[in-house]
Amino acid sequence: MDYAIVRTGGIQFKVSEGDKIRVPSLHGEVGEDVKIGDVLALSTSGELTVGAPMIDGASVSAKIASHGRAKKIIVYKKKRRKGYQRKNGHRQGYTELSITKIAA
């Protein structure tokens, strides 16, 4: 099984052709093609190639499937005995990518 380890948005993902992954928000419309050039490792026919830090000439092609926002998380801060309390909510935006091709 061929796979690649790519970096986008400061996060590393292990991807194969046909996978769907959620990455931090990318610019672009639904249906557009995206090329990820930060390939850190590549496995083809059982042979692993590791970059230093990236593999030259390798890329992963993907198609934007959708945009959305993750579930809300609550950020709560408190200092005891000081009367200090802060409550905030946050929803992180994401882009769902469908991996179409891994090129070496």
pLDDT value at 1 more than 80: no
Tens of pLDDT along 22-59? 999 999 999 999 999 999 999 988 899 998 999 999 99
The pLDDT value recorded for residue 45 is 87
Q: What percent of the chain has pLDDT over 90?
A: 89
Whether 60 has a pLDDT exceeding 90, the answer reads yes
Beta bridge partners of 16: none
Cα→Cα distances 31→8, 26, 38, 51, Å? 19, 13, 21, 30
